[in-house]
Structure 1
Amino acid sequence: MAPAAFSDIAKASNDVDVKSKAPNGVAFNAKGLSAHEGSTSTSLEGKYADPSAGKPLQLSLVARSPPIAPYDPLGFVIFMDAKHASLLMRIRNAGLTLTETWSNNNLLTTKVELDNNIAKGLKAEAISDFVPSSKDFGAKLNLHFRQPNFTGRAFFDLLKGPTANVDAVLGHEGFLVGAEAAYDVQKAAITKYSAAIGYSTPEYSAGVTATNSLSVFAASYYHKVNSQVEAGAKATWDSKSGNNVGMELAGKYRIDPVSFTKAKVNDRGIASLAYNVKLRPSVTLGLGLSLDTQNLNESAHKIGASLEFDG
């Protein structure tokens, strides 16, 4: 079994997520996020997963002039604006996943994923961002490689910098050792580096990380007490900001098979409560509350809700 990645991506708890999947493998996902102060953001995502995974990869390249649009109904198009030509790439029978996302700030994002096609355990993601109003274009390449005792990732921003972020984790009988580094091509310099060690089992895990070029240290512990109760603690120290150590304590209690509640409190007196319940097999409701216990009479508290449809 491959070890965990160097870092985990946290999911937002106050968004609205509406999903729908058609029998032909096309899925749609509509999201909306509204803050108490500021504008509302929305996005519409379409995803297609080719069920023919494992078949040979067939590519056809066509040069056209003048440039074509960055989408072609006959296949997936990688649009490269060279003023006089464009490149059309059609991918057939590749077991790919194609995702198109359009947000209300007029940002069009296209992502194509190839999983276990190039090499066993390797997942490749090509991501392009396009803003029609400003003609701004972005291109990224992400690689994820997993083996029984190794997990490695590489994230490349091809147009901004270019920059590269690479991390790797080695695992053996529960013990984990990992490192992360970022490199800027224009500066010809390593811009950040991190390291981590840990130990993980299904019942408990512990780890120590040193991030921000080994200036921020964190120690964490997680314990699954039983099938209903989970607990965790975390301590953080920033060597550049003083001797203060930040503390967090959290717990989770599963009420029944379809609902659970979570609570967390930190050394600054911020207490967070969350409740999640599956109303139906395809409908999940989440409620959240954050309280500043040191300023109960002020308007620093937050409340949120999420509703997820999965069909």
Structure 2
Amino acid sequence: MSLPQPVPPSWKDLGKSSNDLLSKDFPIGKNSLEVKTTTPSNVVFKVAGHHIDDNPVIEALAEAKYTDRKNGLVFTQGWTSINSLLTQVELENQVVNGLKLDLTTVLPPSAQGAGPGEKPKHKDLAKSAIFNAIYKQPGLHSRASLNLFRGPTFTADAVVGHDGFLLGAEASYNVSTGLLEKYAAAVGFSAPEYAVTVQGTENFANYSASYYHRVSRDVEAGGKVTYIGKKASEGVQLEVGTKAYLDSAAFIKAKINNAGLLSLGYTQALRPGVKASFGLSLDTQRFNSAFNTTAHKVGTSFVFEG
């Protein structure tokens, strides 16, 4: 008799363990600050901002999120510093058990800075309204999405899992033109200590393979190989990294790619609700260069929760 199957990860979360290991907690080339507070009535207020070295503008977001656990309702309203209103309404396990409905919109109160025939200066100023229906059951995680302002475009993906083996696929269909815009597929295996994922995306023009291994309670390791069809002349891109916990409140991370870029990250919980992260990127092929933002980069991130 087979054991009950867990709910597999969603399509976008395939390879998440490896992706998080290689991308999160490396605040390189930017400085960010996030402040989050929670009221007794289940309203979460968040103010976040970040400054990227190559961009003179500080981008910020003010957001309020209300959760009604009894009725499975989550309402989020945000406003960005580039004048975009972000709204999300989520309803889970109310229509059918395992079904989550989600409507996410991005609307500019006014398209300032864009003249006739011009594109908005910020991508956030583009209108967007996406309706998602996510259905989860043991052994199945599926999603249907309709982008109302683009196409409209209907996107569907599904991941099935059995005894750790995963199989997923995604396809997008343009309703107005009647054309299949893109498709992708993936296979993988997931266990508590390790995971392996192979994906073919962008109509199988791009391929990636990733692995993640929890070596011990305090050490994690992972890597990713990527081939991009439009950049075939650059060959295959390879990146490996590791994470080591120094104690219950601090950890360090390191990664390096085949271009010789070495990235280091250090995260420390200063006290409950206060976390600081520091990042450093070094071009190992230009160690003799003076320290500048072209060859080497630094960054910081601070998070306050109360």
- 2:278 maps to 287
1: CA distance, partners of 2:73 / 2:93: 10
- 2:257 maps to 266
Residue 139 of structure 1 and its aligned partner are, at CA, apart by: 2.0
- 1:42 maps to 60
- Residue 188 (structure 1) aligned with residue 183 (structure 2): no
Quick one: which of 39, 47, 52 aligns to 2:70?
52
Decide which structure has the larger Cα Rg and report it: 1
Residue 239 of structure 1 and its aligned partner are, at CA, apart by: 4.6
Q: Give the letter aligned to residue 297 of structure 2.
A: K
1: CA distance, partners of 2:225 / 2:128: 37
- 2:162 maps to 172
Q: Which runs of 5+ in 2 are unaligned?
A: 1-5, 113-125
Q: 2:26·2:263 contact (CA, 8 Å) conserved in 1?
A: no
- Residue 108 (structure 1) aligned with residue 113 (structure 2): no
TM superposition score normalised by structure 2: 0.83
Is the deviation greater in 136-145 or in 288-297?
Answer: 136-145
In the TM superposition, what whole-angstrom CA distance separates every residue of 1:35-62 from its partner, at most 9, and x where no partner exists? Answer: 1121110110001111322xxxxxxxxx
Cα RMSD after superposing both structures: 1.9
Residue 129 of structure 1 and its aligned partner are, at CA, apart by: 2.4
In the TM superposition, what whole-angstrom CA distance separates every residue of 1:99-124 from its partner, at most 9, and x where no partner exists? Answer: 11011111111111101112111111
Q: Give the letter aligned to residue 4 of structure 1.
A: P
Residue 187 of structure 1 and its aligned partner are, at CA, apart by: 2.3
1: CA distance, partners of 2:137 / 2:64: 30
Q: Give the letter aligned to residue 282 of structure 1.
A: G
2: CA distance, partners of 1:42 / 1:225: 38
Is the deviation greater in 168-177 or in 145-154?
Answer: 145-154
- 1:213 maps to 203
TM superposition score normalised by structure 1: 0.82
Q: Which runs of 5+ in 1 are unaligned?
A: 54-94
Which residues of 2 match residues 234-253 of structure 1 at below 5 A?
234-239=224-229, 241-242=232-233, 244-253=235-244
What SS does structure 1 have at the residue aligned with 2:285?
A: coil
- 1:139 maps to 129
Residue 237 of structure 1 and its aligned partner are, at CA, apart by: 2.3
What SS does structure 2 have at the residue aligned with 1:294?
A: helix
Residue 215 of structure 1 and its aligned partner are, at CA, apart by: 1.7
Q: Give the letter aligned to residue 239 of structure 2.
A: E
Aligned residues: 270
What SS does structure 2 have at the residue aligned with 1:140?
A: strand
Q: Give the letter aligned to residue 77 of structure 2.
A: E
2: CA distance, partners of 1:183 / 1:201: 33
Is the deviation greater in 267-276 or in 128-137?
Answer: 128-137
Quick one: which of 189, 195, 201 aligns to 1:199?
189
In the TM superposition, what whole-angstrom CA distance separates every residue of 1:142-165 from its partner, at most 9, and x where no partner exists? Answer: 222211100112222112211122
1: CA distance, partners of 2:234 / 2:39: 55
- Residue 124 (structure 1) aligned with residue 142 (structure 2): no
What SS does structure 2 have at the residue aligned with 1:202?
A: coil
Q: Give the letter aligned to residue 226 of structure 2.
A: T
Q: 2:25·2:265 contact (CA, 8 Å) conserved in 1?
A: no
Residue 7 of structure 1 and its aligned partner are, at CA, apart by: 2.0
Q: Which runs of 4+ in 1 moved over 4 A?
A: 9-13
- Residue 225 (structure 1) aligned with residue 215 (structure 2): yes
- Residue 6 (structure 1) aligned with residue 24 (structure 2): no
Is the deviation greater in 295-304 or in 18-27?
Answer: 295-304
2: CA distance, partners of 1:207 / 1:130: 36
Residue 125 of structure 1 and its aligned partner are, at CA, apart by: 1.0
Q: Between the two proteins, what is the percent identity of the paired residues?
A: 40
Q: 2:26·2:264 contact (CA, 8 Å) conserved in 1?
A: no
Q: 2:25·2:277 contact (CA, 8 Å) conserved in 1?
A: no
- 1:26 maps to 43
What SS does structure 2 have at the residue aligned with 1:7?
A: helix
Residue 13 of structure 1 and its aligned partner are, at CA, apart by: 5.0
C-alpha spacing 1:130/1:246, structure 2 compared with 1 (3 Å): closer
Q: Give the letter aligned to residue 250 of structure 2.
A: S
What SS does structure 1 have at the residue aligned with 2:94?
A: coil
Q: Give the letter aligned to residue 3 of structure 1.
A: P
2: CA distance, partners of 1:258 / 1:46: 28
Q: Give the letter aligned to residue 143 of structure 1.
A: A
